[in-house]
Structure 1
Amino acid sequence: MEDKSIGKYISIISRQTQAYISREMQKLGITGSEYIFLVNTPDEGVITQQEICNNFELDPAFATRGVKSLVDKGYLTRTKSKTDKRSYEISITEKGKRLKPFIQERLDHWTAVLAGDMTKEEITEVINKLKELKNRAKKEMEKKEEK
């Protein structure tokens, strides 16, 4: 029987990636779901919590919990925006900046593991195909929400 389930392999890779990230981040005292906020907060300046949600299609409640935990651990600061009182600005602390190289090294390692001996062109092709799949899935979910 031919195996045609794209979702099966995406799901397996996703679970393995989460297990790897969780294991590596645990060494730093953060969770596998918190690292995304650290690596995507600029070293200088701020980013809004909403921008992070939009960029990574994250649930706002999930982001609030993750950011709060990192604030409590001293890695991020979270302040009300001066220009939009409904928005929070996130900035990274010196303590948080010190973690970023280790996190990036682990992410780069995992990317290399997944890519194996693929050429740059093959990697680009895989990424483009995954983006297409993501966009189709998102579009389908938006249709379901409209009904």
Structure 2
Amino acid sequence: MRCLDNSIGKWISILHRYAKCYIDRELKTYNIGSGQFIFLVLLFKKDGINQEDISKIINIDKGTTARALKKLEKEGYIKRQIDPDDKRAYKVYITEKALSIKSKIFNVLKKWTDILSSDFTEEEKELALKLLQKMSQNASNYIKKNYK
């Protein structure tokens, strides 16, 4: 059991589950769950990209992406249009409804960061961010090298 207490993966997994719970509750009013919000966050930054690129950027399989986008489209937050350059693909666009809650979504994310780092010094915040970014890059490099 002691071995698990020293597992970085264990603590990241715990944080991930708490984050899902927090996001689900904070965005419930808007019918957006933790499975959809990440797509909106990406589209706020890169509106009009195609569905396949969304899957690649977020590193989520195409089926999961399609289901999340379908829910967001049903709720009126996005619209999908056939890509004029590739009739088999869809480009995804943010709607006015999504733009009207953009600040709410980013405030929820900022508040979560504030909650996680509430008793950190500025140096600890910077170090935590730097280490998480480095871990993410290590994971990405490993996956690209070994699984693609």
Same fold (TM > 0.5):
yes
Who is 2:39 aligned against? 37
Structure 1: 4+ residue segments shifted above 6 A: none
TM-score when normalising by structure 1: 0.84
Choose the corresponding residue for 2:81, options 79, 82, 92. Answer: 79
Who is 2:108 aligned against? 106
Who is 2:118 aligned against? 116
For residues 57-68 of structure 1, the aligned pairs below 5 Å read 57-68=59-70
Moved more, 108-117 or 122-131: 122-131
In angstroms, what is the RMSD of aligned CA positions?
2.3
Structure 1 residues 44 and 63, CA, compared in 2 at 3 Å: closer, same or farther?
closer
Counterparts of 2:135 and 2:24, CA distance in 1: 25
Give the deviation of 1:68 after TM superposition. 0.9
| SS of equivalent to 1:69 | helix
Give the deviation of 1:25 after TM superposition. 1.6
Choose the corresponding residue for 1:16, options 9, 15, 18. Answer: 18
Is there any run of 5+ residues in structure 1 with no aligned partner, and where? none
* Residue identity in the other structure for 2:17: R
C-alpha distance after superposition, 1:101-144 (max 9, x if no partner) = 11111111001101113344432322222222223334444555
Structure 1 residues 45 and 52, CA, compared in 2 at 3 Å: closer, same or farther?
closer
Q: Percent identity, aligned pairs only?
A: 34
Structure 1 residues 138 and 30, CA, compared in 2 at 3 Å: closer, same or farther?
same
Is there any run of 5+ residues in structure 2 with no aligned partner, and where? none
* Residue identity in the other structure for 1:127: L
* Residue identity in the other structure for 2:126: T
C-alpha distance after superposition, 1:38-97 (max 9, x if no partner) = 222138951222332222212111111111111111111001111223432111111111
